[in-house]
Amino acid sequence: MTRVYLALVNNTSINKPTLKATITKNNSHTGKKDSLARPEQGFTLTEVIVTTLVLAIIATIAVPAILTQLANMEAKRVRHTLMNTFTSAKVESYIRRQNLLVCLSNSGGRCNKESSKNLLLFIDKNDNKHFDSDTDHLLSEQHLDPKYGTLHLRAGRRHYVRFYGDSGKPRGHFGHIKYCPSKTYSQSMYQVSFNQGGIIKYKPNSIHDTGCAG
């Protein structure tokens, strides 16, 4: 009986390390297989090409619409600026009882009927029909500088509009400033007109031909 018990004990002590080694070995193999089976992260060349093509198609469709929207926003901004400046000239000349000039100008303050840089409202103290910073009194300077259109003043041969202080009206001065699109995706064309009675109107091309095409 004692011999049988010893034999069982000996067999057990011998098998334990073997079993432990076997388990460790199996776990090692399992971990290696899991590591090999895990997919690598990233994009394939085909996926990158397809994504780039899709983005290019979207940009081709979207860019013209965005540019048209920007052009329309600019045309609206310029229109409001013109109308507000003419209205201010009418009111300020009457309140101040002084003659005021409105003109398109370049960055140097020289009035030019074909300029699109700035819109000036000032008191022309030396009466030379241009703004001189050391002599004249500037009431308003609006930066226009349109990117999608051009501006043109039409007031006879004059390159300015005079509002008289005794009435606030551009007596003897009538005409308009027209906005003409310079890009094909911009369809905004209009004129802001003023008459001798001081009435200021917005006239889109649909109801009054601006002559922009010609």
Task: Give the pLDDT confidence of 81-93 residue by residue, as tens digits.
Answer: 999 999 999 999 9
The answer to whether residue 106 is domain-embedded is yes
Residue 35 lies in a domain: no
Residue 113 binned pLDDT confidence (cut-offs 50, 70, 90) = very high
Predicted local distance difference test score (pLDDT) of residue 9: 43
Task: With CA atoms as reference, report the closest residue to 211 among 185, 170, 183, 177.
Answer: 177
The total number of structural domains that make up the chain: 1
Q: Which pTM does this prediction carry?
A: 0.72
193 in any annotated domain: yes
Q: 94 lies in a domain?
A: yes
What is the percent of the chain where pLDDT is above 70? 79
Residue 91 belongs to some domain of the structure: yes
Domain housing 127: 45-204
Least confident of 23-37, 46-60, 188-202: 23-37
Residue 67 burial class via C-beta count within 10 angstroms: exposed 0-12, middle 13-18, buried 19 and up? middle
- Assess if residue 83 is contained within a domain: yes
pLDDT of residue 40: 57
B/e letters for 161-185, b = 16+ CB within 10 Å, e = fewer, are: bbbbbeebbbeebbbbbbbbbeeeb
**For residue 27, is it within any domain?**
no
63 or 171, which is more confident: 171
Residue 214 maps to a domain? no
pLDDT confidence bin for 117, thresholds 50/70/90 = very high
Mean pLDDT of 9-31: 48
CATH number of 100's domain:
3.55.40.10
pLDDT at 54: 76
Q: What is the pLDDT of residues 31-42, one digit of tens each?
A: 444 544 555 567
